[in-house]
Structure 1
Amino acid sequence: MQGFRRRLPSLTSLVVLEAVARHLSFTKAAGELGVTQAAVSRQIHALEQELGFALFRRLHRRVELTERGRILAGVLSQSFSLIDQTIANVRAQSEEDELVIGATVAFTQLWLLPRISAFRRLHPSTKIRLITQDTPIDLERDMVDVAIRYGDGVWPDGRSVFLCEDELFPVCSPSYAAGCRLPETADELLDHTLLDYDSANPGWIGWKEWLAAFSAARPGRPVLRLSYYTDVIHAAVAGHGIALGWNCLVEDLLQQGRLRRVTDLHLRTRGAYFVVVPSRESLKPSAQAFVAWLGAHLEGKAAGPERRL
């Protein structure tokens, strides 16, 4: 069996063909390749002579591909792209791997940081960089490998992988519970200090929406409003009032006994947690491992709802 070198034209001429076909211009291809227009013309002419058919039709001040030229140029474009991506992936594996993760302040502080050491033990050679902010992270612009988001799963900068739904229920500290009669209905919650904050995420549920789902009829006393959801949870732990606990985010605090559920009322929303990955390329191995690890830890967290928005 003959090797490729004996059966294929020169690689240089094929690279030139791909560039000319992409630009449909000998001059622009020459500029990209850093050679003269005459050198490009000679390469294409020699390639046509070797192949035995024309690749381009030379028209007035422009060129266009022949049918055979179009077929060959298309295969070359796909093949060069695959080679380029493969080399980039292999090169990345030989370098120190850094996994860039984007998430909200609440998810990072309340869920991810308490567990990230478990992932690091499984993948000790992977460097991790966390980008934590509540404003949306653009996966393309910010060069993030994975982002954890709450919403409907549709975002223009990447493709989404479902993680889990969540449910909301009132929580307070044991000290707060010891100092008052805890409410049993949604209306009775309005007699207490309710801790809340303003979220930029349209899918995030606050007290107003949660109480409406349970048809609370009476006007409530003013809530204590804070800047971040993490502040709300810290205030609840300190005994300042009752907060809405997102099950995935307050699970550790409930198990530690620093928070407790106030009532059996709970609400499941239409939104869910997703891990979002860039659509620009295939995931590198460390990102694939992190997505699988997230799914294993979050799958099936929320139980059946009593109400749903």
Structure 2
Amino acid sequence: MKNLPPLNAVRVFEVSARLGTFSNAAAELGVTQGAVSRQIRLLEDRLGLQLFRRTGRRVNLTQEGRDYYTTVRRALEAIDTKSAQLSRKRARQKLVVSTVPSFATKWLAPRLTSWRTAGPDIDLRIISSYEPTDFRRDGVDVAIRYGRGPWPGLHVERLAVEELFPVCSPGYAKAHRLRQPKDLVRVMLLDREMTEGWAEWLAAVGVPSADLRSIVRMRDAAAALEAALGGQGVALANSSLAAADLASKRLVRPVAGMLVSAHAYHFVCPPSALERHSVDVFRNWIAKEMQRTSAPAARPEVRRRQSQPA
């Protein structure tokens, strides 16, 4: 192993490449930023090439740096996995999951007890964001994305069919005498911006939407559901997000009719991440939970019409 570089410098390189800044690497490693810079310089001198390009506070990998990072990351993960297997007391693993705020609030949070049973040795961290995930830069292991896909270069699995239908509080449905789809044109409608909306749903059930009294559009689907729970109007709900509130009867479906969405929640990760125990456990758990609680795929009450791309 005459070409083996200093292992501490290799470790500092892996953290710096994963986090994208020397300051963040220093914070994770518990050293100064200067110490990180010295270890990177030592490694670059030993290899005889430049691993990073400095751009302001951020650092970007060169082509040689990217190739080296792939090899280093796999090697360190293999060492970590084997060390855990051989250790008398297996170290707890960490799993970072990124998803949109609505899914984190309305689907993941109510099922944390179920997750703890499935992954008792895994510490879960949930990051809520609407921004696309950069797995290497953000230190994310898995993302739950809502859309149509595909996402090239990533492993993608659709988790469940999503149905869209109106929901409101029982009191709101009674006070406004909501019985048929056409009754909805005279009440407050709560919409989400990300996918198909009220216009598509009303067209699918044969109701003209030109004379709607009022629509409030929210980026976050969970906010629309909370407004509906508070008696503020009728929300167009995703079946996955509304399931718990419907089961508890805090929300009701005041009229018949649903639309099968062209969008769905997807399990997304780099292909190499599938080899990790924590990712595999989470993947199996969320797939089973989504299938257990999702709406049947072959139950279209109305014909779906193609919507515009998100």
- TM-score normalised by structure 2 residue count: 0.68
Moved more, 212-221 or 170-179: 212-221
Which residue of the partner structure matches residue 208 of structure 1? 199
Letter aligned with residue 278 of structure 1: P
- Equivalence for 2:59: none
Deviation at 1:174, TM superposition (A): 0.7
Kept after mapping to 1: 8 A contact 2:192/2:236: no
Mark the CA change 1:122 to 1:182 in structure 2 (over 3 Å): closer, same or farther.
same
Deviations 1:189-241 (A, max 9, x none): 21111012433xxxx12212222333422421121334522121111011111
Q: Distance in 1 between matches of 2:261 and 2:192?
A: 18
What is the deviation of 1:248? 0.7
The one-letter amino acid of 2:134's match is D
Q: Superposition RMSD on alpha carbons, in Å?
A: 2.9
Alignment partner, residue 295 of structure 2? 302
Cα 1:178–1:125 shift into 2, 3 Å: same
Pairwise CA distance, 1:147: 0.9
Q: 95, 99, 103: which is aligned to 2:99? A: 103
Q: Is the 8 A contact 1:195 1:242 kept in 2?
A: yes
Task: Work out whether residues 164 and 237 of structure 2, in 8 Å CA contact, stay in contact via their aligned partners in 1.
Answer: yes
- Partner of 1:270 in structure 2? 262
Aligned counterpart, 2:213 = 221
- Report which stretch shifted further, 242-251 or 155-164: 155-164
Q: Which residue of 173, 192, 201 maps to 1:177?
A: 173
1:153-168 map, 5 Å: 153-156=149-152, 158-168=154-164
Relative to structure 2, which stretch is displaced further, 269-278 or 299-308? 299-308
CA contact 2:201–2:259 (8 Å) conserved in 1: yes
Judged with a 3 Å threshold, the aligned counterparts in structure 2 of structure 1 residues 279 and 219 are, in CA distance, closer, same or farther, namely same
The answer as to 2:288 corresponding to 1:279 is no
Q: Which SS does the other structure have where 1:260 is aligned?
A: coil
Q: Determine helix, strand or coil for the equivalent of 2:224.
A: helix
1:245 and 1:35 map into 2 onto residues whose CA distance is 56
2:231 pairs, out of 233, 239, 258, with 239
| In structure 2, C-alpha distance between the alignment counterparts of 1:82 and 1:137, rounded to whole Å | 21
Helix, strand or coil at the partner of 1:153: coil
Alignment match, 1:40: none
| Structure (1 or 2) with the larger CA radius of gyration | 1
Q: Deviations over 1:163-188 (max 9, x none)?
A: 11110111110110121211413x33
| Deviating more after overlay: 264-273 vs 208-217 | 208-217
Using the aligned pairs only, state the percent identity.
33
Unaligned runs of 5+ in 2: 6-42, 49-69, 306-310
State the 1:307 CA deviation. Answer: 2.1
Task: Tell me by how many angstroms 1:281 deviates.
Answer: 4.3
Per-residue CA shift, 1:56-82, capped at 9, x if unaligned? xxxxxxxxxxxxxxxxxxxxxx99997
- Provide closer, same or farther for how the CA distance between residues 270 and 155 of structure 1 changes in structure 2, counting only shifts above 3 A: same
